[in-house]
Amino acid sequence: MVNLLCVGDLNADLAISLADDLVIGSDTDGTIEMHGGGSAANVAVWAARTGSTVGFVGVVGDDDLGKFLVDGLVQAGVDTYVIRRAGASTRAVAAIVGRDGNRSLVSDLSGQTALVEGDVDANQLAAASWLHLTGYTFLTEQSRSLFVGLTKQASELGIPWSVDPSAAQLIRVRSDVASSRAAFSGCDVMFPSDDEAALLADVDDPVMAADSLLDLADCVVVTRGADGATVARRGQPTFSVPAAPTILRNTLGCGDAFAAGFLTARIGGADDRACAVAATATAARAARLSSAR
């Protein structure tokens, strides 16, 4: 039995760190590194580092890059159930990291390595204490019905589930706000960034957005970067916590580390404030790295 089952994206991150502003049409000094990535996979790794029993279900291609990614999860202590899709190429994401540490992503949501119905064994879900999903699975057309089916199964089994909406821009271009709200409705915890919360709630203020999104989730945790996080729960006062002190090198994976810290504390019985403090501490660790994990 696993404490936390993460289902979703697993890809290579090609991290491009700029030493100066990007010069369009010419060369810019910087570094290029390849690491394991994928929001759901990152959450699994960060949660495993806390000592939690964590499972991950995803898909890679039947290639050397896929083997590299699976090996990385196994070495991190994650119980790994990854499908090697014959004839498919493993996905990669380009992460462009500016001098200030903020990242912009170019995401390949190719259907070649998308999860589809039947890829997640019902016994794996039934044996989990908590299910975590990311919006990338819902926003990939081939995986959408799987996402909806998993949330329904989890609710029927009484298994709490959480979701990270993943990307405001992709919600705009690959779905729509109403459909995304319907898909995320019923979750126990939602982890939107401030721009995702503003889009889904149609409210710019992050505190007001967190409160507004309680019509979808029992608990909403809006991540706000250097401004920390805001936590809202039905029937409880909304509060904010500051970001933990850190040396910012790269924001890539910070949101995933935050979710992992919050969930492992929550599964362990901690209250919301303790969960948020644990989450900001884990995110601060991620911020010091050149990779997402």
The mean pLDDT of 132-154, rounded to a whole number, is: 96
What percentage of residues in the chain have a pLDDT greater than 90?
84
Report all structural domains of the chain as residue ranges with CATH numbers, in order of start: 4-287 (3.40.1190.20)
Res. 100: pLDDT tops 80:
no
Q: Give the per-residue pLDDT at 265.
A: 98
User: Considering the chain, what is the average pLDDT of its residues?
Assistant: 95
Res. 52: pLDDT tops 90:
yes
Report the Cα–Cα distance between both ends of the chain, in Å, rounded.
Answer: 24
Q: Where are the beta strands (DSSP E) in 177-256?
A: 187-190, 217-223, 229-233, 239-241
| pLDDT tens figures, 155-176 | 999 999 999 999 999 999 999 9
| Torsion sign (Cα): 13, 15, 16, 21 | positive
The mean pLDDT of 213-240, rounded to a whole number, is: 98
Q: Which residues of 86-119 are buried (b: 16+ CB within 10 A; e: fewer)?
A: eebbbbbbbbbbbeebebeeebebbeebbbbeeb
> pLDDT-based confidence at 189, cuts 50/70/90?
very high
The mean pLDDT of 67-85, rounded to a whole number, is: 97
The mean pLDDT of 5-34, rounded to a whole number, is: 90
